[in-house]
Amino acid sequence: MNSEMSGKSKVRRELLDARRLLSPEDVREASLVLARHALELPELTGARTVAAYVSVGREPGTRALLDALRTRGVRVLLPVLLDDNDLEWAVYEGPDRLVPARRGLTEPAGQPLGREAVLEADAVLLPGLAVDERGMRLGRGGGSYDRVLARLEAAGARPALVVLLYGHEVVARVPEEPHDHPVHAVVTPEGVRRFAARPRA
């Protein structure tokens, strides 16, 4: 294991430990404030299609945001985890059309649209554990969203990339590997922070 990988593992453990200290009420209250801030983003205000995800456990909550986007008439795509850890997508049709899935996830019950459906998104909401001052995101390490971001880049798609986090998860620096992509903005209960676009090395 190289030093960047081992550094990521250590930071992930610390961040997950901090999330475990949050109460269900903390998570619920944060989710409502996150939804309010996210819905004010111009990238979401003008979006016709948004790729998002269903939060689980003590992740920053997305369910209020998903419902608000759908109420606005936005086509919301949610991920379906494949056997190889890649993601395909299906349309969010409401909370009663979500089903339990592998690895403790929740997925849409509708017909999957394939891996390329994400290319239609005007904005992509990414799960994460942290983002740093450069906009570099630290994920959970499964690689699913690395593949999604690589697919977007290969197709020349340019959706807004937004990560939802708790305030203490915006840090000075996260370990970075060559395949990592910066995001355009982070939404926390404290507000929105944007990052200057920078070329990939």
Annotated binding-site residue numbers for ATP = 8-12, 137-145
- Our measurement of the distance from residue 87's CA atom to the centroid of its chain's CA atoms, rounded to an integer in Å, reads 13
The DSSP secondary structure of 8-37, one letter per residue, reads: HHHHHHHHHHHHHT--HHHHHHHHHHHHHH
Provide the annotated binding site for substrate.
54, 59
Distance of alpha carbon 151 from alpha carbon 199, whole angstroms: 17
Q: State the burial class of residue 121 (Cβ atoms within 10 Å of its Cβ: 0-12, 13-18, 19+).
A: buried
Provide the annotated binding site.
8-12, 54, 59, 137-145
**What letter represents residue 88's amino acid?**
E
